[in-house]
Amino acid sequence: RQIMIDQRNKTSQPVSGGSSTCHKRESAKKMISSTTSTAESQSSSLTTKEKPHFSQFAGQPLSVRQCFVETVGLENFIRTIIKELHLKMNEHVLFDMNSQGTLTRWDDVFRVEKTYTTCLGISRRTYTCHGYTHEPKKQLAYFILGEHNERSMKILPAFDFHVMIFCYYDSNGIVTKVDVQYDQMGFYMNCFGLAAMHSWCMKCVVTPFAMRWMDAYNKTGMVHPLTFLVQVLVTLTIFSYVVFQVVM
């Protein structure tokens, strides 16, 4: 009888071990499921953050967000960036071009852009934007717009340009005003190739001459504002005399 009882005890021990193993497996499954649900909730929250609506920022002072937009043509860029800003557009808008001119319809904005780029010898214009700043309290979003301008004539060089854009919207998220700020004189100098000529002259002529003059000036040991002013006056006098002789 004692032997039979010992055998029964031996056979009952694995059963208890098996039940504890089952409990461990169930607890592990519960931990995995809870971890998975937590990860899914976090991923869903991240997805929500990646695509916010403008109304979600109400009450916040400032929001800086990253984006990447690269399109050809102003109309394609405007429609793409407005979607990126989670705003909407209708037929009318107050489009202020560097405080030099104002348009009131999107169709007029797009037609003007196509016309003047053709007149200035721009055959293809690529717009890029890498981020924007959003101020919900002011109902304002602004960003730096990059332009790469390819030319229709080989004698005119291609050039890059940057513009500051301010977009105002109403409580419904509809863009009501666009303020465009840029260096107008610099833009036209790039269009006519004068900026490229000035850059080449400063790089290849003025800078090497200025470096040699600086070395010679330092060797004299007389570097002083008064001596520098004397050199400027002498140079201007000689230049004026030469110009006068050529003209006369």
| pLDDT block averages, 10 residues each, the chain of length 248 | 47 46 52 47 41 51 74 90 89 90 92 91 92 89 92 91 94 93 91 90 93 92 92 91 87
Q: How many CA within 13 A on the CB side of residue 140? A: 10
d(CA 16, CA 180): 78
Q: Which pTM value belongs to this model?
A: 0.63
Give the per-residue pLDDT at 46: 36
Residues 6+ apart with CB under 8 A from 196: 157, 159, 190
Q: How far is CA 194 from the centre of its chain?
A: 27
Structure confidence at residue 224 (pLDDT)? 93
- pLDDT attached to residue 32: 46
Pairwise CA distance, residues 84 & 131, whole Å: 10
Phi, psi of 171, deg, nearest 5:
-70, -20
* Residue 35, pLDDT score: 45
Give the pLDDT of residue 18: 47
Token pair in block for residue 173: 């998220």
Cβ proximity of 171 and 56 under 8 Å: no
The dihedral through the CA atoms of 151, 156, 160, 164 has a sign that is negative
The pLDDT assigned to 247 comes to: 85
CB 67 within 8 A of CB 131: yes
Structure tokens at 217: 């000036």
Strand order in the sheet with 122-135: 63-72, 122-135, 140-151, 159-169, 175-181, 92-97, 101-105
Q: What tokens does 232 get?
A: 């400027």
Total residue length of the chain: 248
- CA 81 to chain centroid, in Å, comes to 11
Return the number of other C-beta atoms located less than 10 Å from residue 106's C-beta: 19
Q: What is the pLDDT of residue 39?
A: 41
Q: Which residues of 196-218 are buried (b: 16+ CB within 10 A; e: fewer)?
A: eeeeeeeeeeeeeeeeeeeeeee
Question: Which residues, 6+ apart, have CB-to-CB distance to 17 below 8 Å?
Answer: none
pLDDT at residue 11, rounded to an integer: 47
167: left (phi over 0), alpha (psi -120 to 50) or beta: beta
**Secondary structure class of 154 (helix, strand, coil):** coil
